[in-house]
Structure 1
Amino acid sequence: MDYRSRRWAGLIFISIAVSLIIVDSTIVNVAIPSIVDDLGLTSTEVQWVQEAYTLVFASLLLVFGSLADRFGRRRMLLIGVVIFALSSIAAAFAPTGGLLILARLVQGVGGAMVLPATLSLINATFRGRERGIAFAVWGSTIGGMAALGPLLGGWLTTDFSWRWAFGINVPLGIVIIVGVLFTVAESRAEKVGSIDVVGAFLAVIASASLVFALIEGRTYGWWQTATPPSIGDWTWPWQISPIPFAFAIAVLGVVGFIAWGRHRQRTGRSTLIAFSLFRIPSFRNGNIAAMVVSLGEFGIILSLPLWLQFVIGFDALQTGFVLLALAIGSFVASGAAGASSGRISPVAVVRVGLVAEIIGVAGIGFVVAPDTAWGWLIPFLFIYGFGVGLATAQLTGVVLADVPVVESGQGSGTQSTARQIGSALGVAILGTVLFASTAGILGAKLDDRGLDAAQRDQVVSAVVDSAGGAIAGLEQSPATADLATDAKAAFSDGTRLAAFTAAGFLTLGFLATLSLGSGRPRKVEEAEEPEEAAAAG
């Protein structure tokens, strides 16, 4: 089979595969309030529905990026799509929050197989200016599918059930599998070593401990134990919280991972990360920038659907229409980035995109209030989405531009891991900012009303533990209507602070891009041929 002539068609299916991950995230964001109502999720469980996926995803990207180079990038992509689709069925039928979180964990395994495989397949298939165009198409497809996500999720959740927000992944998965089999050639690295099992274990432990600590810190206590965790009949027995231990494990995991990897490298054995890649300036500096940018890029999407539905009173479909402005901006920008390929430096495009993101997310922070008209959000969401569309694909291209094809799986896995760890930390930090600030502000407002401590704590816990879902119940009773007003104001303030925190992270990300060079366009050679590691049928 002549896959070479079908590589552009194959690119579409590769892009749809990674879009499956993006669509799932945007659909779930819109559906979360309905899931809260149906399954009675706490605010911590809300974060874990998001983070269970991201945590496993980020933890396993390096592992599956390396395995894809060994066992076949197309094979890894197909296996990942199958796992993702099957776990989506489990999520759709989940009867409890715990089982939904478990299904999301398995989805993370599938997603971690898909993402590095798509990037390394593009890196192995295209060269020169074609590669720049391919990454732009990849980003444009993501933007287009993301534009459908909030609207599709809102429609499915409002007219059917939030369960269909997961079920939609099954037909998409079938389309991807059939398309990839007919249009994408298999490729793999010629020289492979033994699998770094110890490095994989240390990477998983480090990232899992860090995200656990950030999400559960406000529940268990950041230093002293507030609510002791328990497993079965065993309860945490010490005054000091488990959170400092989790942070310490994360630090030791990172140090151990680096030390072990360097040891294997010195002895000539393969490593989970090709540490030699960090001698490439674009790869090293680009990964730093990607991680910092991801801290602020998508965290606001956790709080905004909750605010729109529980404070403003929108249903899921209306929320989807509002968030569509963000996705349309991303789609428009991705197309513009593709059209400018070769004429404007990718680094310059990234910087322009980050400035747009900062303006958009800070603008959201300025306009959020209990009585905000939804129309004020639209221009800022569009600007924010426009910035995401400009920055995302181009930053990926910058990071992987000088990575050798034989190490493209490790390279793409590393840059994907940097992004996903940044994203996981961003959602965890911004979720903590949202709920902790809401609790503090609401508690102060209720104190001003003269509520006794027990009543105050009961109302604050109800609002925060339900991620805002209890506000409607407070509003329905004349006796607690004033408390609902305070809760709406506090949740709006928490959303505003989360937006400003995201803008701060994005500003740091912009400063990090200054290490990527002058931003002048670079000439590329188009004579180099794509890797021919596939068996043409």
Structure 2
Amino acid sequence: MERYFRLRWVGLVFISIAVSLIIVDSTIVNVAIPAIVDDLGITSTEVQWVQEAYTLVFAALLLVFGSLADRFGRRRVMLIGVVVFAASSVLAAFAPDGGMLILARLAQGVGGSMILPTTLSIINATFRGRERGIAFAVWGSTIGGMAAVGPLLGGWLTTAFSWRWAFGINIPLGIIIVVGVLLTVAESRSDRASKIDVVGALLSVVTMGSLVFGLIEGRTYGWWLVDQRPEIGDWTWPLDLSPIPFAFGLALISLIAFIGWGVHRQRQGKSTLLALRLFAIPSFRNGNIAATVVSLGEFGIILALPLWLQFVLGFDALHTGLLLLALAVGSFVASGAAGAASGKIAPVWVVRAGLVAEIIGVAGVGFVIAPDASWVPLIPFLFVYGLGVGLATAQLTGVVLADVPVDDSGAASGTQSTSRQLGAALGVAVLGTVLFTTTAGVLASSLDDRGLSADQRDQIVSSVVDSAGGAISGLEANPETAAIADDAKEAFSDGTRFAAWTAAGFLAVGLLSTISLGAGAGPRGRNDDEANEDSRAVGATPDPEADPAI
């Protein structure tokens, strides 16, 4: 028994490393992109796909693999995901051109979508009571910390070696995870094994894929009328109407069909990809809504800040990563606080405290940003932001899954992970639009004041925006355009500042959305009889630790 107890916590370490693998990789590209552009000569369109292909596939497949894990084994699916992720990292590390790198990022998204929901469901099935709260705190703080360690690691590898090692580091980590999980993590699966809902799986992929595509690509192709025509080989988009409304329409139709199909199968007593009955649990339903809104702003600053630090202040990749380390330190400090608070303070209050800290941190960063800003005042605000991420992420997950039956943990964790990813995708789309639209507007106005012609103005604005700020250094190096470079730095700073404040606004909405969770949502806010009553309402086996009658 004692050996089993120790193995559970050792297993949590390897599960956390698996989470680190995908979180680091999703953030590491931010600081490595300039080096990738120089080495492979990829276009601005390819740059966008290198950054976004991963998110697109990741969000589209989360629900599918969460359900498959419940049937075929959570540990098994996670290990397959690690192998796929490591193998695709080899492809990325040796990519000879942008197309191959994008293909590798798509494959990494498949592997990542197998890893994240299974780590959550394994924790949900392995730990109980106060231990579960501590385990979720470790899981959540790992996400927050690795979101900052990714840029640091990527900056060091890119500066000291090559951007290719930013992907190559995943290979030894993958080997460590596979060996460690096989030795310390027990297999678990649902006792209600049934046939996979293939139609539901396909509809969920179409729904998530088309929605995320629309959210990410709206700024590129136009939200209504076409701004840039998509091209595939010799074929060019023929309509003046942008493809984005069609993507959103497809997402809506697929969502309606997905829900209708699920209700139909549920009435027939058949399994469904998404256990719709789980939404009868208030903590699960309201927690997913809150998680979506919170994710709109939670990692927005990681999108814009590295670009501003490198292209406006002139930091290299390593110095950018070192500055963002303050965020990681804050998140790890929060993990200790969250663990100590587990079982003593209702999780929803920890979530709210974390969101307040995030709002203060992100808004403070916005006030500091300027073309001649010092990095020193950024540190305390990034630390506070990291503190909030560490507190809010883990405990919100615990609130969402607190009353979910173990047999449905895979589908439930997949749902809440999808909620986060959809929120993050929307946040990237909106914050990217705020960043680059503001930059373009401010820079165009400044160039008009200098008396440049419309053609000259548009050419300079396009070069700065399309390169995500990378063209500023070229303008600065030429004495004839040095003054224009100053205008570009001011414009990009304004864009980054407004992106930060927009992120803070999303987080404020997320804070308000936690009101629906009640004053005591989570394990401490509800008595054991209530928890088991909800479990019985969705057909679950009551928790023997919570119900003394069992």
Same-fold call, TM > 0.5? yes
- Partner letter of residue 320 of structure 1? G
TM-superposed CA distance for 1:336, in Å, is 1.0
Instruction: Quickly say closer, same or farther: Cα 1:507–1:41, change in 2 above 3 A.
Output: farther
The offset of 1:31, in angstroms, is 1.6
Query: Cα RMSD (Å) of the superposition?
Result: 1.9
Per the TM alignment, residue 253 of structure 1 is displaced from its structure 2 partner at its CA by: 1.8
Instruction: Specify the code of the residue in structure 1 equivalent to 2:113.
Output: A
Post-superposition CA distance 1:135-191 (Å, at most 9, x none): 122234445545533322111011111111111011111111000000001111111
Distance 1:373 1:112 in 2: 39
Provide the C-alpha distance between the structure 2 equivalents of 1:55 and 1:124, rounded to a whole number of angstroms. Answer: 28
* Residues 43/295 of structure 1: CA separation in 2 closer, same or farther (3 Å cut): farther
How far apart are 1:528 and its partner, in Å? Answer: 3.2
Rounded to whole Å, the distance in 1 between the matches of 2:397 and 2:483 is: 49
The alignment status of 1:528 with 2:527, answered yes or no, reads: no
Q: Distance in 1 between matches of 2:264 and 2:24?
A: 40
Q: Please say if 1:117 is aligned against 2:118.
A: yes
Identical-residue share of aligned pairs (%): 75
2:479 and 2:24 map into 1 onto residues whose CA distance is 40
The CA deviation at 1:523 is 6.6
Structure 1: runs of 5 or more not aligned: 531-537
Looking at structure 1, the residues matched to 45 and 324 of structure 2 have their Cα atoms a distance apart, in angstroms, of 23
Q: Structure 1 residues 33 and 312, CA, compared in 2 at 3 Å: closer, same or farther?
A: same
TM-score by length of 2: 0.93
Moved more, 85-94 or 142-151: 142-151
- Please give the alpha-carbon distance, in whole angstroms, between the structure 2 residues aligned to 1:306 and 1:256: 40
Q: Over residues 358-380 of structure 1, what are the superposed CA-to-partner deviations in whole Å (9 max), with x where a residue is unaligned?
A: 11111111111111111121111
Worse-matched range after superposition: 83-92 or 131-140: 131-140
SS in 2 for 1:375: coil
Q: For the Cα contact (< 8 Å) 2:348–2:399, is it kept in 1?
A: yes
Show the counterpart of 1:424.
425
Q: Is the 8 A contact 1:68 1:188 kept in 2?
A: yes
Pairing 1:315-394 to 2, within 5 Å after superposition: 315-394=316-395
Deviates more, 1:345-354 or 1:50-59: 50-59
**Could you tell me whether the CA contact under 8 Å between 1:143 and 1:334 is conserved in 2?**
no
In 1, the alpha carbon distance for the partners of 2:82 and 2:16 equals 13
Question: Contact 1:44–1:216 at 8 Å: present in 2 too?
Answer: no
- 8 Å CA contact 2:141, 2:391 repeated in 1: no
Match of 1:91 in 2: 92
**1:240 shift after superposition:** 1.5
Aligned positions of 1:72-471 closer than 5 A: 72-146=73-147, 148-471=149-472
Q: 2:506 matched to 1:505? A: yes
Please state how far the C-alpha of 1:28 moved relative to its aligned partner: 1.9
Shift of 1:400: 0.5
SS in 1 for 2:312: helix
Following TM superposition, by how much is the alpha carbon of 1:43 offset from its aligned partner in structure 2, in angstroms? Answer: 4.5
Partner of 1:481: 482
Q: How far does the alpha carbon of each residue in 1:360-418 deviate from its partner, in whole angstroms, 9 at most, with x for none?
A: 11111111111111112111111111000000111111100000011111111111111
Do the aligned residues in 1 keep the contact of 2:148 with 2:321 (CA within 8 Å)? no
* Contact 1:357–1:384 (CA under 8 A) maintained in structure 2: yes
Is contact 2:520-2:526 (8 Å) kept?
Answer: no
Give the C-alpha shift of residue 249 in structure 1. Answer: 1.2
Q: How far apart are the structure 2 equivalents of 1:29 and 1:376?
A: 22
Name the residue aligned to 2:9.
Answer: 8
Q: Structure 2: any 5+ residue segments left out of the alignment? A: 529-541
Cα displacement (A) at 1:224: 2.0
1:63 Cα deviation after fit = 0.3
Question: What is residue 537 of structure 2 aligned with on the other side?
Answer: none
Question: C-alpha displacement at 1:435, in angstroms?
Answer: 1.5
Distance in 2 of aligned mates of 1:212 and 1:65: 21
Q: What is the rounded CA distance, in whole Å, between the counterparts of 2:527 and 2:42 in structure 1?
A: 52
Q: Which residue of 2 aligns with 1:533?
A: none
Q: Is the 2:328–2:386 Cα contact (8 Å) retained in structure 1?
A: yes
Distance in 2, matches of 1:78 and 1:496, equals 41
Q: Is the 8 A contact 2:519 2:525 kept in 1?
A: no
8 Å contact 2:92–2:104 — kept in the other structure? yes
Contact 1:132 1:342 in 2 (8 A): yes
> Which deviates more, 426-435 or 167-176?
426-435
Query: SS of 1:312's equivalent?
Result: coil
With the length of structure 1 as denominator, give the TM-score of the two structures: 0.95
Task: Give, in whole Å, the separation in 2 of the partners of 1:141 and 1:304.
Answer: 21
Is the 1:345–1:522 contact (alpha carbons within 8 Å) kept by the matching residues of 2? Answer: yes
Quick check: 2:223–2:242 contact (8 Å CA) kept in 1? yes
**Cα pair 2:348 2:395 within 8 Å, conserved:** yes
**Shift, 1:232, TM fit:** 1.7
Cα distance in structure 2, aligned partners of 1:240 and 1:430: 24
Say which SS state the counterpart of residue 479 (structure 2) adopts.
coil
Paired residue type of 1:372: A
Q: Give yes or no for contact 1:354–1:388 (8 Å, CA) kept in 2.
A: yes
Deviations 1:62-91 (A, max 9, x none): 000000000000000100000111111111
Greater RCO structure (CA 8 Å; 6+ sep):
1
Aligned position for 2:538: none
Distance 1:347 1:110, change over 3 A: same
1:374 is paired with a residue of what secondary structure?
Answer: coil
State how far apart, in whole Å, the 2-side matches of 1:448 and 1:208 are: 43
CA distance in 1 between counterparts of 2:259 and 2:543 reads 37
What's 1:535 paired with?
Answer: none
For residues 247 and 147 of structure 1, what CA distance do their matches in structure 2 show?
A: 32
Q: Which amino acid aligns with 1:239?
A: D
Q: How far off is 1:3 after superposition?
A: 4.9
Shift of the 529–4 alpha-carbon distance from structure 1 to 2, 3 Å rule, reads farther
Measure the CA separation in 2 of the matches of 1:44 and 1:434.
17
Using the TM superposition, name which of 427-436 and 369-378 deviates more: 427-436
Q: For 2:162 and 2:303, how far apart are their aligned partners in 1?
A: 20
Distance between the aligned counterparts of 1:154 and 1:263, measured in 2?
51
Shift of 1:483: 1.1
Q: How far apart, CA to CA, are the structure 2 residues paired with 1:408 and 1:439?
A: 46
In the alignment, structure 1 residue 46 sits paired with structure 2 residue 47: yes
| 1:42 Cα deviation after fit | 4.5
Shift of 1:243: 1.7
TM-aligned CA deviation for residue 256 of structure 1? 1.7
1:442-466 superposed Cα distances (whole Å, 9 cap, x missing partner): 1121111111111111111111111
- CA distance in 2: counterparts of 1:146 and 1:207, whole angstroms: 23
